[in-house]
Every structure is written in structure tokens, then in C-alpha cells.
Amino acid sequence: MDLIADRGRRVTVEELNTSKLLAHAAEQARDRKYEDMLIVDCDAHHYENENFNEILPFMENDVLRQLTMSGRAKGRHSIVPAQVGYQDMGGRVTRYPLRMTEKTEPGKLRDVQLGERWMDAMGVDYSCLFPTGMLNVGLHPQKEMEVELCWAYNRWLTEVVLPENHGRFYTQLALPLSDPEASLRQVETFGGRKGVTGFMVTTVRTIPVHDNALMKVYRAIEERGLSLAFHSGPNWGEPVFKGLNRFISVHALGFSFYNILHCTNWVINGMGERFPKLPVIWIESGLAWIPFLMQRLDHEYMMRPSEAPLLKKKPSDYMRDMFYSTQPMEIQDMEALETTFRMMNAETQLMYASDYPHWDFDLPSTIYDLPFLSEKAKHNILGGNAARTFKLAPRNEAQKANLIKYGNYTAG
Amino acid sequence: MAWLPVGSGRLVRKRPKAQVREGLTKMAEQFVGRASEFTDGTRQIVKVGDTEVGVFRHEGNFYAYSNYCLHQGGPACEGLTIAKVEEHLREDKTSMGLYFSEKDMNFVCPWHGYEYDMKSGECISDRKLKLKNYQVVTKGDDVYVVA
């Protein structure tokens, strides 16, 4: 296949093979003996838009289903709000333009095969599978379409994808948060299905997560012993970002911005007091925003406690009760990173995430090689914290021994 | 001449062991390919001992660098080769926009887009970071990398 480089020059590149592309990751996994430690990737993705022909028939409403399936014809409009963006960097990140050239075996879901390739290469035992395009579903102008798309995706994922993966994929299913009643129904319907460890709010949206109408949703999730994730993303259309002229700027700010927005509402409105047993995970915002927000909220709270009367401790203490995914981890100033880890109690609150196959993915070595981490912290962050939270079983005896050694063994 | 797999299963041309030469300094010369077949703008990845080296031919010259990206260890030499992007300014400091450089060429790690200067191996985002470079020698039509 030819990739277009500068001035129209074409560069011939072989077809994509994920195992070959990640050969160096496999070397790292062997060198570091990852097979002895349970590694959980709490944020990996597939391109569900390539499966819409299989997903959309699960929509319940006849008219909306016909509307979206009819719109699948070539040249018709997108059914999920699309973003302007250049994730592939003009083809520099070759797995984007080459993705469709990768060959998979017939008879088994392509997304499952691709997922197992990158998991095996990286030394990952379990991956939490999230969609890609549907991370924008919160921007859909039609509430009922958001509900239907989440419903269809959640059915397809739990009825078709997860059963083919022999338990190595798990998920936190997308919630149509714009409709609290529909969100509750989806929790009640899908919450008990195999591989479902919780639910996920796509945070590229601005509705208040502390709205009274949503309390029954969070309560239902908490009562089932499940978790709640907030997965962020960029949005060039957000009014405050319209002045940015480069994708790097929108991407750098957007992923942190939406989680800062919703985490602020979550903390200041005392959600940690209302749902103390609900594990909450903030995903794909990096880590640098965490000490920033802790300091900002604590500083203001000391002067204005009357505006956050549900709080019984500082905002940062509630933030330390919650979980965070590692990626994209800002490994630029090692002392700043060490301080961040200390401030968030990373040893018990941080969970490794790759975000593969997206352009800024992180390998397990980004955690394993950190010079300031203890062995316990490495085991916890790379998989122990997730195993404890999501009740994931070890895949061999060495992993079991390490989970027990570090207090993370919960699945018998 | 055989096509042999390197670690990742990629195929590279490799000469029989007898033709891997060792000098007085114990530096081995690993055969890369025929210069006449090594067209400008192309690259070869060769396995040298336990490591991988990317050999480029650019504007008639050979450049060889470690194939391990300084970021997360990706295959630094296996991605796109693309001109450096520049932003040109007028004298009054207003921007004229983005342009591809007419003289500076980069190669890009396909994992995350780290860009390296073809002629120096420096990471263009932070020139203190530099890929290990290797000497390339030609003997007749044969191209060797010294490692």
C-alpha cells in the first residue's frame, strides 16, 4: 500500500500486521517477565464504526433503526457526531491508514483477533474494551438516538463480542447519560451480564453529572457492586476551544478539560459521600491534571466550605478515594511525576491503560520502568488495582501468588 | 542470498555468516544489500547481533540508526520518511503558514510519531535526544553496516 507523504510523494509500506508492528513490545514483555504479573489494560479501543452493520440491527425502535441503517449507504451522513481531527498525524502513525489492510482469520470476529494480537504482544492479560467514534455519543443532538445507539452497542458487545474472547475482554458499558430513565434501564438490563464490570460516561458533554435525576442510576450501579468510569475525549467544537488552531492544542487540553469539568462537579457536590462504595475511574486524561485540580479545589474549599456543605474532608481527599487510568502519562519531568503519584496515592488508586490502538498509546513499560516505584506499586498499578476492583482472576500460578502477595487477590 | 526473518518476523536480506567481517576492533560488518538495488528514499532493517539497525539511503548517502525509538522502544526506522514541517514568518512576525522543508528530511517512528532528523538521528522535538548511529561502508556494490 502507498502512503502519501510530502508533495504527493508516495511511500510504499507493507500491509499492517499488529503482531509485527508491536514486535518490540513483545521483546519488552519477555525481558521484563510480564507473564508473572497480572497486567490489566483498563482502557483499550476498537473501531465499532466498522461493525455498524452488525450493531445497528440491535436498535429497538423500528423507525430509528431504519433511519440509521438506510444512512449506511455510501456517501450518506454519519450517525454519530464526528470530530475534526488528525489522529494519524498525516499518516505518520501508520496503523491508522493501514488498518484495513490487516488480515484476520475467517470465522472469528476481527475485533477480537486484533485485540488478542496487541494484548499478546504487550503482555496484557485483560483489556477493558471501549468504542472509538461512540465516545462522541454525548454530543448527539437527539437524546433518543443516543439511547438507541448505546443500547445497540451494549447488546452487540455483550452478546457477540465478549463471548468470543474467552474472558480476556471485559467492559464498562456506555451510558446514555442524557436520559436518566434509559440509563437506569440499561444498568438493570446489562449490569449482570458476563464481562460487564461497570458503566462508562463519555465525558465529551456538558450536562451536570450531579443532576438529581441521575442519582438512581449511580445508586443502581453501586448496589450491583459495579463501577463507574468517565472516559474523556477532545472536541474542537467546544466553544472555549474554537480559538485553538492546531489539533495538538485541542487534544492536549480537551482530554483533561472534560474530566476536570465533571470531576469538579462530582467532588464539590459530595458524590463521594452519597455513593461511598461506588468505584469511580477517570480515564484518558493523563495525570498532570490531578495535582492541579486537587490544589485548586482545596484552596477554594478552605475559604468557601458553605458552597460544598456535603463534604466532610478536603476535595483532594475525595479525589484520592477515586481511581485514575495512567494513559497518556506525561513522562517529562520525573520529579513532577513522582509528586503526582504521591499526591494521588498511585499505589492503590492508579490503573494501567494502553489506549491502544490510538496514536498516543502507552506500553506497560511506562509503569514498569519508573525508577521511583516499589515492586508492590508496579504490580498494583499494572494490574493489581484493577484485579481488586473488577474481580479479575489470575491467568497462571505466578500471577496468583503475586496478587496474593500484594493483597489484590479477590477472584477465586 | 537468502531472505531471513528478524525478530518480528520481517524478512531482511542476510548474507551467510562467512561474509560478516570482523575488524581489529571486533566491530562486525553486517551486510545490508546491494548499493545498486538500494534506491534513494528507501531503507532496510538489518539484525545485528541482538539489536536492529535501520539503514536509509537519502540523497545518495547512507545513514544507519538504532531501530529502537527513544520514546517507548518502537521501530523508529520503520515508519514514514517525510520532510520536516516548518512555519514561515514574515519580517513583521506574522505567519505565512506551514510548509514542508526543501532540505530537511525526517523519519518517523510509526508507534507515536516521534520524528528524527535523517542526517543526525536527533529527535526534532528535543535535539538532546539522539538515536545511536552506525557507520555504513560500501565495498564495491555491497553495503555493510558496522556494529
* pLDDT, tens only, A202-249: 999 999 999 999 999 999 999 999 999 999 999 999 999 999 999 999
Domain holding B49, by residue range, is 2-146
Q: What is the CATH number of domain A23-405?
A: 3.20.20.140
Q: What is the pLDDT of residue B5?
A: 35
- Residue B80's domain is classified under what CATH number? 2.102.10.10
Q: What is the pLDDT of residue B26?
A: 63
pLDDT beyond 70 at B126: yes
Report the domain count for chain B.
1
pLDDT beyond 60 at B89: yes
* Per-residue confidence band for B3, with pLDDT thresholds at 50, 70 and 90: very low
Beta-bridge partner residues of A358: none
Task: Work out the mean pLDDT of chain A and round it to a whole number.
Answer: 94
pLDDT beyond 90 at B97: yes
Q: What is the pLDDT of residue A184?
A: 98
Q: Is the ipTM of this complex over 0.85?
A: yes
B8 chain-A contacts, CB cut-off 8 A: 19-20, 23-24, 26
Q: Taking residues B112-118, what's their average pLDDT?
A: 98
Return the DSSP state at B75: B
Taking CB atoms and an 8 Å limit, are B112 and A7 in contact across chains?
Answer: no
User: What residue segments make up the domains of chain A, in order of their start?
Assistant: 23-405
The set of residues, in sequence order, having a beta carbon less than 8 Å from that of A275 and lying 6+ positions away, is: A218, A219, A222
CA distance A156 to A154: 6
Taking CB atoms and an 8 Å limit, are A24 and B8 in contact across chains?
Answer: yes
pLDDT beyond 70 at A400: yes
Q: Which of B8, B9, B79 comes nearest A94 by C-beta? A: B79
CB-based burial, B8-19: b 16+ in 10 Å, e otherwise: bebebebbeeee
pLDDT beyond 60 at B1: no
B12 chain-A contacts, CB cut-off 8 A: none
Contact A205, A174 (CB under 8 A): no
A21 chain-B contacts, CB cut-off 8 A: 75, 110-111
Predicted TM-score (pTM) of this structure:
0.92
Task: Work out the mean pLDDT of chain B and round it to a whole number.
Answer: 86
Taking CB atoms and an 8 Å limit, are A93 and B110 in contact across chains?
Answer: yes
